[in-house]
A and B are shown apart, each in its own frame.
Chain A
Amino acid sequence: MLLEVRDLYVEFRTRDGVAKAVNGVSYGVDAGETLAVLGESGSGKSVTAQAVMGILDVPPGRIAGGEILFQGRDLLKLREEERRKVRGAEMAMIFQDALSSLNPVLTVGDQLGEMFVVHRGMSRKDARAKAVELMDRVRIPAAKERVRQYPHQFSGGMRQRIMIAMALALEPALIIADEPTTALDVTVQAQVMDLLAELQREYAMGLILITHDLGVVADVADRIAVMYAGRIVESAPVHDIYKAPAHPYTRGLLDSIPRLDQKGQELYAIKGLPPNLMDIPQGCAFHPRCPMARDVCRTDVPPLNEVGEVRGSACHFWRECLNG
């Protein structure tokens, strides 16, 4: 396993109390595999990724428990200098909003080249040549001229390509993409997703794709981990989950997609609101919104039950859910 997150807990101390953002998350990614982490805002999907990358805001954030094993080493036990060598070189992250992730006062060439200057000790001239090469890789037209331009001179799709180029620069083993296409238009989103998938295959990288879009997941992922209130509620190969979800939350999400045969009828809606992380419900966090909830759900936190060999569901009644 390339990356293995084990029983991770992250919390944020705020004026109003402790927000429990991640509550015992475990997942793994192999080389060449794409894991989609699906969840709504506040589900802890981005915070988990930030903990893996080591870019969590500490304080107010705090890792309250767990291990993050990357190529066998526990990243949480490394000193900050060692961690920095891993970050960027061995694992890299692509953010949602390319415009605010790029430095507006440096040319894109300088920002791409910086990777090679800092991590590989290259000269500025060599780094510039590398930057042009990378921009070619992600198919930015006229890379030689555009390397001297600033981020604002690029369109949204082109900026996201620059982010991808930057993440790929040192050929990392793992890429974490946090909503990489959410800010882009549909036609451009398809271009960027295709590019990302192609490069991943070429370099046999592990890819963690964080998203809320069930369509994007179905298109590119091998496995899915569905998160709710800081826990993984279901984890399965992509085909299985769409065919027969084993958790009522996953089922609810799939059922809320408008379908042709339901035109003119009410859309299925999960009732209620996502929980407040300062006050997560007792027992199963989903029980106040769950159509299947019974007494045991109000008291006992369901473990991630094994559903066959490669699936897990954190529902007391996963069998019933699986059978519809």
Chain B
Amino acid sequence: MAEEAEAILEVGGLVKHYPLTQGVLFRKEVGSVRAVDGVDFTLRRGETLGIVGESGCGKSTVARMLVNLERPTAGAIRYKGEDITRLSGRALKAVRRNIQMVFQDPYTSLNPRMTVGDIIGEPYEIHPEAAPRGERRKRVRELLDVVGLNPEHINRYPHQFSGGQRQRIGIARGLALRPEVIVADEPVSALDVSVQSQVINLMDRLQSEFDLSYVFIAHDLSIVRHISDRVGVMYLGRIVEIGTDTEIYDHPTHPYTQALLSAVPVPDPEARAHRERIILTGDVPSPTNIPSGCRFRTRCWKARERCAQEVPTLAVPLHLGDPAGPAAHDSACHFAEAVSFGRSAPGQTVLPEPTP
């Protein structure tokens, strides 16, 4: 999409380490959990950036830092050029108004003792300048209507709604302050298949209606492909590959991305036979003890001497030739290699025409 659109969020060298301590009286640091370990990306206006990765890769921690629920250990998050990690007080509050979050679990992210009207209207209590007191109830009704809920239900409680409806309430709350950026952390993974697409369509519609930029975090690769303009793949606290959806899904160059894509079950029994699967061995290493050099090398079938010594940088691999080709996008691998994913890539499946 719009390559020239202005950058609305610029993330550089983002790091979050949680200290591990021992002892009660004399706490001493014995190590750290390196949840996020150097992440860079840019989010442009009106764009959706998908972030995929397995549990523990740090994608949720990145989300929490973007909305300032968590302070980074190092690095910068620039919102329209201003580093929000250094802000406090009034200036921080003003920025927070523009970056809102939608959470994963619609069952625990809504207060069961508050009515839907109070939940969606709560942002106005914190940012009273966003809407005059007398207007708020009306605004909440409008928001309910926008997300496809009945405005008459404003006095109901969360338990009176289904999972999909609750996620709509969470989205309405995220929209209340008319933010520019919405960070959605696994917004549909707790929902049933038939309800997932309703919520995805809603988010798609709201994006054009309110000119929103999304950071969309999920582990479902076909949904991420559907909604994203660009996709970043995270592994153990770092982005290992980032590019447009076609570059990542059809021309992945990082072995982890290739393995991840090939492992996703494809809903097409015909593809069973000519599917080439890369099955990784072992588990993700602990973020307290990250391997030297390339952090993926312990599970990588291509790993060589160099991978243990040298940390690969996230850049366009020069040896792949054709600088305009689809394989020319940022990939953090010494031995990045272009492969073409055929019909077995997730989100690629085109179902056969029904035969009578």
In the complex, the answer to whether B266 meets A273 with C-beta atoms within 8 Å is: no
Q: Which residues of chain B are within 8 angstroms of A155 by Cβ–Cβ distance?
A: 283
- A293 to B68 CA separation, bound complex (whole angstroms): 49
Which of B31-39, B85-93, B172-180, B193-201 is the contact stretch?
Answer: B193-201
In the complex, the answer to whether B195 meets A185 with C-beta atoms within 8 Å is: no
In the complex, the answer to whether B283 meets A269 with C-beta atoms within 8 Å is: no
**Given A214-B267, A219-B265, A185–B219 Cβ distance below 8 Å?**
yes
Query: Does A256 reach chain B (CB closer than 8 Å)?
Result: yes
In the complex, the answer to whether A267 meets B197 with C-beta atoms within 8 Å is: yes
Measured between C-beta atoms, what is the minimum distance from A254 to chain B in Å? 6
**Given A194-B279, A266-B204, A268-B197, A186–B260 Cβ distance below 8 Å?**
yes
Assign chain A's interface to a size class: 35 or more
Query: Does A239 reach chain B (CB closer than 8 Å)?
Result: yes
Q: Which residues of chain A are within 8 angstroms of B225 by Cβ–Cβ distance?
A: 258, 260, 263
In the complex, the answer to whether B200 meets A267 with C-beta atoms within 8 Å is: yes
**Given A215-B264, A217-B267, A258-B225, A273–B356 Cβ distance below 8 Å?**
no
In the complex, the answer to whether B259 meets A187 with C-beta atoms within 8 Å is: yes
Taken residue by residue from 251 to 287, chain B's Cβ proximity to chain A (1 for < 8 Å, 0 otherwise) reads as 0000000011001111111111000010111011000
In the complex, the answer to whether A213 meets B265 with C-beta atoms within 8 Å is: yes
Measured between C-beta atoms, what is the minimum distance from B256 to chain A in Å? 9
- A323 to B350 CA separation, bound complex (whole angstroms): 18
Q: Which of A194, A218, A258, A324 has the most CB of B within 10 A?
A: A258
In the complex, the answer to whether B350 meets A189 with C-beta atoms within 8 Å is: no
Query: Does B155 reach chain A (CB closer than 8 Å)?
Result: no
Q: Which residues of chain A are within 8 angstroms of B268 by Cβ–Cβ distance?
A: 218, 242
Q: Which of B164, B201, B219, B269 has the most CB of A within 10 A?
A: B269
Taken residue by residue from 254 to 293, chain A's Cβ proximity to chain B (1 for < 8 Å, 0 otherwise) reads as 1011111111001111110110000000000000000000
Q: Which residues of chain B are within 8 angstroms of A1 by Cβ–Cβ distance?
A: none
Q: Which residues of chain A are within 8 angstroms of B201 by Cβ–Cβ distance?
A: 266-267, 269
Closest to A40 in B: B192
Give the tally of cross-chain contacts (CB within 8 A). 138
Query: Does A253 reach chain B (CB closer than 8 Å)?
Result: yes
- A153 to B259 CA separation, bound complex (whole angstroms): 26
Interface residues of B in 25-77 (CB under 8 A from A): 54-55
- A266 to B264 CA separation, bound complex (whole angstroms): 23
Query: Does A298 reach chain B (CB closer than 8 Å)?
Result: no
Closest to B228 in A: A263
In the complex, the answer to whether A256 meets B196 with C-beta atoms within 8 Å is: yes
Q: Which residues of chain B are within 8 angstroms of A41 by Cβ–Cβ distance?
A: 192
Taken residue by residue from 236 to 252, chain A's Cβ proximity to chain B (1 for < 8 Å, 0 otherwise) reads as 00110011110000001
- A252 to B196 CA separation, bound complex (whole angstroms): 12
- A181 to B264 CA separation, bound complex (whole angstroms): 12
- Option from B165, B245, B267, B283 in Cβ contact (under 8 Å) with A215: B267
Q: Which of B193, B222, B355 has the most CB of A within 10 A?
A: B193
- Option from B55, B269, B280 in Cβ contact (under 8 Å) with A242: B269
**Given A252-B194, A267-B197, A273–B354 Cβ distance below 8 Å?**
no
**Given A219-B272, A242-B268, A185–B54 Cβ distance below 8 Å?**
yes
In the complex, the answer to whether B269 meets A218 with C-beta atoms within 8 Å is: yes
Q: Which residues of chain A are within 8 angstroms of B265 by Cβ–Cβ distance?
A: 189-190, 193, 213, 215-219
Query: Does A301 reach chain B (CB closer than 8 Å)?
Result: no
Closest to B195 in A: A273
- Option from A185, A242, A256 in Cβ contact (under 8 Å) with B197: A256
Measured between C-beta atoms, what is the minimum distance from A257 to chain B in Å? 5
**Given A216-B265, A267-B226, A243–B355 Cβ distance below 8 Å?**
yes
Query: Does A69 reach chain B (CB closer than 8 Å)?
Result: no
Assign chain B's interface to a size class: 35 or more
- A128 to B266 CA separation, bound complex (whole angstroms): 40
**Interface majority SS on A: helix, strand, loop or mixed?**
helix
Measured between C-beta atoms, what is the minimum distance from A158 to chain B in Å? 7
Measured between C-beta atoms, what is the minimum distance from B156 to chain A in Å? 15
Query: Does A157 reach chain B (CB closer than 8 Å)?
Result: yes
Closest to A243 in B: B352
Taken residue by residue from 203 to 234, chain A's Cβ proximity to chain B (1 for < 8 Å, 0 otherwise) reads as 00000000011111111000000000000000
Query: Does A170 reach chain B (CB closer than 8 Å)?
Result: no
- Option from A186, A256, A260, A273 in Cβ contact (under 8 Å) with B219: A186
**Given A218-B267, A259-B349, A212–B193 Cβ distance below 8 Å?**
yes
In the complex, the answer to whether A187 meets B349 with C-beta atoms within 8 Å is: no
- A188 to B270 CA separation, bound complex (whole angstroms): 23
- A269 to B356 CA separation, bound complex (whole angstroms): 24
In the complex, the answer to whether A215 meets B347 with C-beta atoms within 8 Å is: no
**Given A157-B283, A186-B219, A266-B204, A260–B348 Cβ distance below 8 Å?**
yes
- A40 to B193 CA separation, bound complex (whole angstroms): 7
Measured between C-beta atoms, what is the minimum distance from A275 to chain B in Å? 11
Query: Does A322 reach chain B (CB closer than 8 Å)?
Result: yes
Measured between C-beta atoms, what is the minimum distance from A167 to chain B in Å? 21
Interface residues of B in 5-43 (CB under 8 A from A): none
Closest to A186 in B: B263
Query: Does B351 reach chain A (CB closer than 8 Å)?
Result: yes
Closest to A253 in B: B193
In the complex, the answer to whether A274 meets B283 with C-beta atoms within 8 Å is: no
Q: Which residues of chain B are within 8 angstroms of A266 by Cβ–Cβ distance?
A: 201, 204
Query: Does B162 reach chain A (CB closer than 8 Å)?
Result: yes
- Option from A157, A239, A257, A260 in Cβ contact (under 8 Å) with B269: A239
Contacts A190-B265, A219-B265 aside, 7 further interface pairs with beta carbons under 8 A come to: A189-B263, A191-B281, A194-B279, A218-B268, A258-B222, A269-B195, A323-B354
Top 8 A-B pairs, shortest CB-CB distance: A215-B265, A258-B226, A185-B54, A190-B263, A214-B267, A267-B197, A269-B197, A40-B192
Selected A-B contacts with CB under 8 Å, 14 pairs? A185-B284, A186-B219, A186-B260, A187-B260, A239-B270, A242-B351, A256-B193, A258-B200, A259-B349, A267-B226, A270-B197, A273-B164, A273-B165, A274-B194
> Interface of A with B (CB < 8 Å)?
40-41, 155, 157-158, 185-191, 193-194, 212-219, 238-239, 242-245, 252-254, 256-263, 266-271, 273-274, 322-324
